[in-house]
């Protein structure tokens, strides 16, 4: 019951076409040659990536920017939480008022 049933393909009849992609030869470790190591002039001509140097002023700016981002995100999240809380409270008050109106109307009859 839990074993998959794999359909069996019948043997092909008629013309069989060769595969569209030719199989490649297997290269053994002995046949594989590493590229030659670059020489000193080749290393000097390679472009180097610029290094990032943080000066004290840049470090202060990074800290101030991170602090500002955290404060802004915190203010947005708190305001969203406050909006949900105010909406829930107003809906609860509306529900109490409607329940009170319905109950007072049933008492009059």
Percentage of the chain lying above the pLDDT 70 cut: 60
**How far, in Å, CA of 59 to CA of 65, rounded?**
10
36 near 44, Cβ under 8 Å?
A: no
Check residue 53 and report its DSSP letter: -
The answer to whether the predicted template modeling score (pTM) of the entire model surpasses 0.85 is: no
More confident residue, 38 or 89: 89
Mean pLDDT of 18-31: 65
Distances (CA, A) of 12 to 8, 15, 18, 48: 12, 8, 13, 59
Confidence of residue 69 (pLDDT cuts 50, 70, 90): very high
Mean pLDDT of 31-43: 61
Q: Burial of 8 by CB count in 10 Å (0-12 exposed, 13-18 middle, 19+ buried)?
A: exposed
Give me the chain's average pLDDT, please.
80
């Amino acid at each position: 019951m839990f074993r998959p049933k794999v359909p069996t393909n019948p043997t092909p009849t008629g013309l069989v076409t060769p595969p569209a992609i030719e199989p490649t030869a297997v290269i053994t470790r002995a046949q594989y040659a590493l590229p030659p190591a670059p020489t000193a002039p080749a290393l000097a001509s390679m472009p180097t990536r610029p290094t990032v140097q943080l000066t004290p002023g840049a470090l202060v700016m990074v800290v101030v920017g991170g602090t500002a981002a955290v404060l802004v995100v915190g203010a947005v999240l708190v305001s969203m939480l406050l909006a949900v809380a105010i909406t829930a409270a107003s809906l609860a008050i509306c529900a109490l008022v409607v329940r009170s109106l319905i109950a007072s109307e049933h008492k009059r009859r």
